[in-house]
Amino acid sequence: MKTTWRPGRWLIILPPLIFLLVFFLIPFAFAFKISFAEAAPRVPPFTDVISFTANHHLQLAISLGNYRYLLTDEVYGVAYLYSLRTAFFSTLICLVLGYPMAYAIARSPKSSQGLLLLIIMLPFWTSFLLRVYALEGIIRDNGFLNTVLLHLGLIDHPLRIMRTSLAVYLGIIYSYLPFMVLPLFATLEKLDTTLLEAAADLGSTPRRAFLDITLPLSIPGVIAGSMLVFIPAVGEFVIPSLLGGPNNLMIGRVLWDEFFGNHDWPVASAVAIAFLLLLAVPIAIYQYYNVRQLEA
């Protein structure tokens, strides 16, 4: 490959590199630093971790209190576990629903694939907050679902869905289903159909061919889609806050309350850092498969 543009190269590379470094990566360093501070009634509301004394000596005031607090106050442990469990089962249900959808699109004529994908993606791009709100209109006690069911005489009194775990599950599945369908479609579409024909010629039943060929070959899509649902779902704030009840404490909501309710920025930073460490594994898996897929 010719190496051209030598002098102008850095004009192209540096602006995005520096911008993302300053506004995406370095903020984590600040959060890490402030997680060792203590809340203080001042502006900004925390003590200095790094400061200089009058005679220009560097002074470090590191407090591990916030992390100790996370370990001792059981709210955090409960919220972490609840978030992981909710995200895990929502991801599983999205997979079960999303796989046949992606498969159907991948097997439909090329000319209609683009339109079908657009129809699937349209809700994803359309205001997340408003879609959660729209879902509330369906599942609340006097909402669309209960009105229809009561009208049909299928139930005697309204189903209680709002402010329960079920509402949180429905919210996550409804909001994140498109995330699952897209990467699954991307791998299923690339699948070499001659393999399936070969299997059929050799006497394999369609079900057998699916289990032996299609499913194993679509594993990268399964993993990418699952991570795309799982990671944001663990950190979800809007859904548990609007649809869930007081028991549906997810970690995003705890962090939000710590920050906006208690104004304890250092504890909120510690929650964020601990949460990030917890997510490091799934994020690394996603990045690995994503980079491999981009290079393929």
Partner 1 sequence: MRRAREERSPTALLTVLFIGIALLYLPILVLIGYSFNSSPLVNVWGGFSTTWYGQLFHNRQLLEAALLSLEVAVTASSGAVLLGTLAATALVRFARFPGRALLTGMVNAPLVMPEIITGITQLLLFVSMMQLFGWPHRGFTTIVLSHVTFCAAYVTITVQSRLAAADRSLEEAAMDLGASPARAFIEITLPIIAPAIISSWLLCFTLSLDDLVISSFVAGPGASTLPMVIYSKVKLGVSPDVNALASLIVCAVGICIFVAGWLMMRSDRRRALETQLAGR
Q: Which of residues 277-296 bind partner 1 (CB under 8 A)?
A: 279, 283, 286-287, 290-291
Nearer to partner 1, 165 or 171 (CB): 171
245 interacts with partner 1 by CB under 8 A: no
Does the footprint of partner 1 cover residue 232 (CB under 8 A)?
yes
CB of 165 to partner 1, least distance (A): 19
Q: Is position 264 an interface residue for partner 1 (rule: CB under 8 A)?
A: no
Looking at residues 83 to 102 of the shown chain, list those that interact with partner 1 (rule: CB under 8 A): 97-98, 100-101
Spatial distance between the Cα atoms of 183 and 271, rounded to a whole number of angstroms: 31
CA distance linking residue 146 with residue 171, whole number of Å: 17
Cis peptide before 183 (omega within 30 of 0): no
Smallest gap from Cβ 54 to partner 1, in A, equals 19
Among 41, 109, 153, 246, binds partner 1 (CB under 8 A): 109
Residue that is written with structure tokens 């909402």 in the block: 143
Q: Taking CB under 8 A as the criterion, which residues in 202-231 touch partner 1?
A: 206, 227-228, 231
| Spatial separation of the C-alpha atoms in residues 134 and 123, rounded to whole Å | 12
Kindly identify the residues of this chain, within the stretch 184-203, that bind partner 1 according to CB under 8 A.
Answer: 193, 196-197
Q: Choose, by CB under 8 A, the member of 62, 129, 155, 219 that binds partner 1.
A: 129
**Considering only 56-64, 72-80, 215-223, 258-266, which stretch makes contact with partner 1 by CB under 8 A?**
258-266
For partner 1, the binding residue among 71, 119, 198, 219 (CB under 8 A) is 119
User: Which range of residues in 51-59, 60-68, 74-82, 126-134 is near partner 1 by CB under 8 A?
Assistant: 126-134
* Nearer to partner 1 among residue 50 and residue 71 (C-beta): 50
- Rule CB under 8 A: say whether 269 interacts with partner 1: yes
Radius of gyration of the chain (CA): 25
112 binds partner 1 (CB under 8 A): no
User: According to CB under 8 A, which residues from 39 to 78 bind partner 1?
Assistant: 44
Q: Which is nearer to partner 1, 65 or 241 (CB)?
A: 241
**Smallest distance from partner 1 to CB 87, Å:** 10
Minimum gap (Å) between residue 162 Cβ and partner 1? 10
- Pattern 149-168, partner 1, x by CB under 8 A: --------------------
- Secondary structure, 3-state, the chain: CCCCCCCCHHHHHHHHHHHHHHHHHHHHHHHHHHCCCCECCCCCCECCCEEECCCCCEEECCCCHHHHHHHHCHHHHHHHHHHHHHHHHHHHHHHHHHHHHHHHHHHCCHHHHHHHHHHHHHHHHCCHHHHHHHHHHHHCCCCHHHHHHHHHCCCCCCCCCCCCHHHHHHHHHHHHHHHHHHHHHHHHHHCCHHHHHHHHHCCCCHHHHHHHHHHHHCHHHHHHHHHHHHHHHHCCCHHHHHCCCCCCCCHHHHHHHHHHHCCCHHHHHHHHHHHHHHHHHHHHHHHHHHHHHHHC
